[in-house]
Homo-oligomer: A and B are copies of this chain.
Amino acid sequence: MRISVAPVPQEFAGGDTGTGVVVVDVFRASTTIVAALAGGARFVLPVTDVEQAMRLAEPYAENEVLLGGERDCQRIEGFQLGNSPREYTREVVAGKVVIFTTTNGTQALAATKDSGAVFVGCFINFSAVADAVAGLEAVTVLCAGSGGRLSLEDFACAGGLVARLAKRTAQLDDAALAARAAYRTLKDDLARMLVSTEHARRLAGLGFRADLEFALKVDSIPVVPRLHDGRIEPSPA
């Protein structure tokens, strides 16, 4: 198995159909997408800009669709939902199409357009997403980062996935080796480290502290979102 990590989307070498990709945006897009599908959303439609989201919602009846996402960490005007995974409860999302746009996560998803199997990973579906790609010949973990810069939570999650996937014969690229090494130092005190970063403190300051706790509950929701033909649906186990 070949395992590579793109610490930021700019380092993603581009997809090929033989490589599985796991898109990781721990705070919060990946976590929110997992929550939405676990809550029974029909599918999530990730889009990169707000106007496109509005346009894609038009053909749907009002009770069929929800607009979700954030800019500057906050719900977008005219959208029903923000980017807090705790909003995406079964009561709210069951049976609905969720059109979703965020600052970093949906941009990272867009970068995978020529890739083979594309999954959404984070801590809450950590083991499930690792199992989903464990049989592939090549896997890239694509970290969303923040504004083109490395995010510790995404890099640490990528490192954890590498540590779990890498058997003795695996070939790891430099970023995979680096992420795994970082994870090994951080893992015993992961939650404390990951809530102390600048981004986490910003989210906490805006009232989203509970989102951080939600996002750091490892294996709490074993749902594996898969992006296919522009839609994200649960991958069959």
Chain A residues packing against B (C-beta within 8 Å): 7-8, 10-11, 13, 146, 148-152, 155-156, 173-175, 177-179, 181-186, 193, 197-199
Q: How far is the CA of A23 from the CA of B198 in the complex (A)?
A: 24
When C-beta atoms are compared, the residue in chain B nearest to A10 turns out to be B10
Copies of this chain, whole number? 2
| Selected A-B contacts with CB under 8 Å, 19 pairs | A7-B8, A7-B175, A7-B178, A10-B11, A11-B150, A146-B174, A149-B173, A149-B175, A150-B174, A150-B175, A152-B174, A152-B175, A155-B178, A156-B181, A173-B198, A174-B197, A177-B197, A178-B178, A181-B182
A181-B185 contact in complex given A8-B11, A150-B7, C-beta closer than 8 Å: yes
A11-B148 contact in complex given A174-B197, A198-B173, C-beta closer than 8 Å: yes
> Residues of B contacting A185 with CB < 8 Å?
181-182, 184-185
Question: A193 contacts which of B149, B155, B177 (Cβ < 8 Å)?
Answer: B177
> Residues of B contacting A148 with CB < 8 Å?
10-11
Q: Which of A149, A179, A186, A197 has the most CB of B within 10 A?
A: A149
